[in-house]
Structure 1
Amino acid sequence: MDPVLVLNQSSKLSRFRTFPFLKLLRFVAPILAVHDLLLTAATVVPLHISPNKMTFQKQAHLWFQYDSLWFIQIGRYGYGSIPGIHSLGATAFFPLVPLLTHVFGKWTMLVLEQIIMGLVLILLSGFFRRIGLSEKRSRIAVWLFAVNPASIYYTTIYAEPWTVLFGLLSLQSASKQRWWIAAIWGAGASLTQGTGIVLGLFPLVLFIRSIIRRDTRYVWSSLVWGVGYAIGLGLYMTYLLVRFHQPLAFSTTQTTFWGAHWAAPWVPIRQLLLWDVFGHHKFTTLLTACILTIAIGIFALWTKLSSSDSWELLGARWYVAVGFLISISFIPGTNLPLHSAVRFATVYFPVYGGIALAFNKRLIWGVFLLFALVAAIGAALFSHGLWFQ
């Protein structure tokens, strides 16, 4: 065989291997595979089926449980028309995921969620590099997100993966100064769930920083960006006003229908102490360890990275701090300690960068195993109709 021909073919193969798509595939494939295998394995664990059935719980199976069923029902019947449910009960669920479920159907949505998860992993890697993490620490942070304690909710029909996706797309567009596109993604984020609105802290931080620095260019840019989040929420409020004459129904129904309430951040801590976290319920001990790890990650994000000129890092710091307070202050339904706090906290994605910075190699393996263990237990509980976060 002609040596020149062999060299040319080898050169072409080398270029093919360095094609950006293949690089991304090699990065995402093993992480996504571990994520899905962990949750799938946990799903087949034999557990008894929960006797506490919702009105439409008979439709529950595998990863279609709890909020997934609400999204499916809203997509099928619309708000206020679900059989056996109070007219305002479903308004607590923001409209983007039900709309997508209506368009694609539940099984296509389940497949789509896996694709979304892959995109999120890619975007997360870029985000962590932009705020100053090394390639190694960025990779660790992405792995931690993939096995986060509430991983099951990033694999089935829930709002969490969409919130993170639109938030990251909005940030990426803003980092490239494509402010109108960032605003559109921001509007999408605020239509996923209530915590999607908290992403508006990024343009708010940029706005305040620009005012302080008298940088008029970024003042107007951040306003354009921030308006996107307001428009998304405004669209849903307008619908609620026209449909139910209650533009804030998504908030008021949390108390009237779901029994949720706000409390001071120290209330859950007091609940844990009264609950006897180390003796009464072993799983609560694991959840407490997750919350403490997240808190350490937030502290590290504020202290481990040197103060730079990055507005994105500054926004990330405030985003995780405020988000964490919201997570432990909003108590839905019951007074169980950490009722949904861990699940809420996992959405604030910059925290995984902080965790990657906070722990050395040996300890980070401990965090990885803790997260994976809780994720597996949670997936087993959830997929069998038992309550988890």
Structure 2
Amino acid sequence: MPESPKKPARAIAHGALLAFLVLLSRLFFEEIGTLAYIYLPHAWVDAPQGEIPPHGGLWFQSLFGIWAHWDGYWYLSIAQFGYQGRTASSAFFPLYPWLMHLLGSSIWAGLGISLVAFTVSVVVLYLWVSNQWGPAVAWMAVLVYAFFPTGFYLNAVYTEALYTALAFSTLYAAQKRRYWWAFVLAALATLTSIYGILLSLSLFVLVWKQERRFWRAVGFSIGSALGLLVYMAFLTWRFHDPLMFQSVQSDWGRHFAWPWVTLVTAFHAAWSGRQVVWNYPYLFSPGPAQGPVINFYNLIFMVGSLIVLVLYGWRLPLYLWAYLAPALAVTLFFPAYNQPLMSFPRLIFENFPILLVLAIALARRPWWRFAYWSVCLYLGALLTALFATAHWVA
């Protein structure tokens, strides 16, 4: 039968709306960050040892330079000079800086990769979630993902956009039974972030469910391990230690603790900073980033995530729980000394099934939406302004 003329028209309309959401979400974070950089006091920014952060004029810094703070300097440094025997650099997985190196090792390269990857991730997320839960949840998932309060990391010189694009594509390819594509994409995801190794668990469960062939599921799920082996081989050549990326975590204060100890410590750390959360002159004062404030927001994101998972986590399929459970365990079992839940607001993108559960909840409970979007947009504006002025980092 000939294809219905409505299908191409619907696809074009959906594509145009996705493009509009990509543009609108990036402009939201860009405008907030630029205005904050121009009009608010700046804090100090940490940079890799021996490296001076790049500087340009006011307009360059306010439009583009703000997205290369903190870890962004590390990725720029690796792209320009390689790992250079600096052991701490091994914590930053290589695919993103390697791609930046191929494209000129500049902020422009990092921003370009992130923006292209973000666009791809939005399209693939919609297709994948639409197949899994239907169009209503898919549109909500795209909105939650694009406008999440820490969504500015998706256009920064950080790996989050590239990782989510590869992770979503891996699972979508496996869902469509394109297992070799899933194999390769999972390897690339692991070369982007250590969390990619957990995709092997999702792939095994998903392929087994679809094929009911054990060794076929095993074979197509080891792409992540291959990606990690490539990086370990590189570290062996460079540092004579294939697990250097793990051993240097102590530089950031990472250590083992039981999850309940991590959460209790996080509550105490957040409670100590409660009085300054609404003190905007203090939040934006010159000087170093404010640790108590960081701990407060780390806890808010963790508690919110756990509440959503308790209420709606049962709607996640097993293959996503196979990924999410160990991903959450990484944060809860390996806290940092000064920031027990360090980086969790950003790492929600590595823990992306949380965003899907949130989308399911909002799609099924319309009366939640006003409260969520009010809090989301407020936090998005505040945290973007704090990041742009170097007062806060996840």
**TM score, norm. by length of structure 1:** 0.83
Q: Does 1:75 align with 2:76?
A: no
Instruction: Give the total of aligned pairs.
Output: 355
Contact 2:187-2:196 at 8 Å conserved across structures: no
1:86-101 alignment runs, 5 A limit: 87-101=86-100
Residue 309 of structure 2 corresponds to which residue in structure 1? 298
Deviation at 1:16, TM superposition (A): 11
Q: Which 5+ residue runs of structure 2 have no aligned equivalent?
A: 56-64, 278-292
1:23-38 alignment runs, 5 A limit: 23-38=13-28
User: More deviation in 295-304 or 34-43?
Assistant: 295-304
Identity of aligned residues (%): 24
1:277–1:112 CA distance, 2 compared to 1 (3 A): same
| Distance in 2 (alpha carbons) for counterparts of 1:329 and 1:375 | 28
User: More deviation in 291-300 or 70-79?
Assistant: 291-300
Q: Does 1:339 align with 2:342?
A: yes
Cα RMSD (Å): 2.6
1:287–1:376 CA distance, 2 compared to 1 (3 A): farther
| Distance in 2 (alpha carbons) for counterparts of 1:320 and 1:365 | 27
1:362–1:15 CA distance, 2 compared to 1 (3 A): closer
Based on CA coordinates, which of the two structures has the bigger radius of gyration?
Answer: 1
Residue 245 of structure 2 corresponds to which residue in structure 1? 250
Residue 139 of structure 2 corresponds to which residue in structure 1? 139
Give the counterpart of 1:353 among 356, 377, 387.
Answer: 356
1:72-221 alignment runs, 5 A limit: 72-81=76-85, 87-105=86-104, 106-131=107-132, 133-206=133-206, 215-216=212-213, 219-221=214-216
Q: Does 1:388 align with 2:379?
A: no
Contact 1:124-1:142 at 8 Å conserved across structures: yes
Note the alpha carbon deviations across 1:319-373, whole angstroms, 9 max, x for none: 22332232333324x4235331221123222222211223421212322232332
Contact 2:114-2:159 at 8 Å conserved across structures: no
Contact 1:148-1:346 at 8 Å conserved across structures: no
1:383–1:278 CA distance, 2 compared to 1 (3 A): closer
Q: Which 5+ residue runs of structure 1 have no aligned equivalent?
A: 1-13, 82-86, 306-312
**TM score, norm. by length of structure 2:** 0.82
Residue 310 of structure 1 corresponds to which residue in structure 2? none
User: More deviation in 176-185 or 361-370?
Assistant: 361-370
| Distance in 2 (alpha carbons) for counterparts of 1:181 and 1:17 | 26
SS at match of 2:84: coil
Contact 2:171-2:203 at 8 Å conserved across structures: no
1:126–1:29 CA distance, 2 compared to 1 (3 A): same
Give the counterpart of 1:231 among 226, 251, 265.
Answer: 226
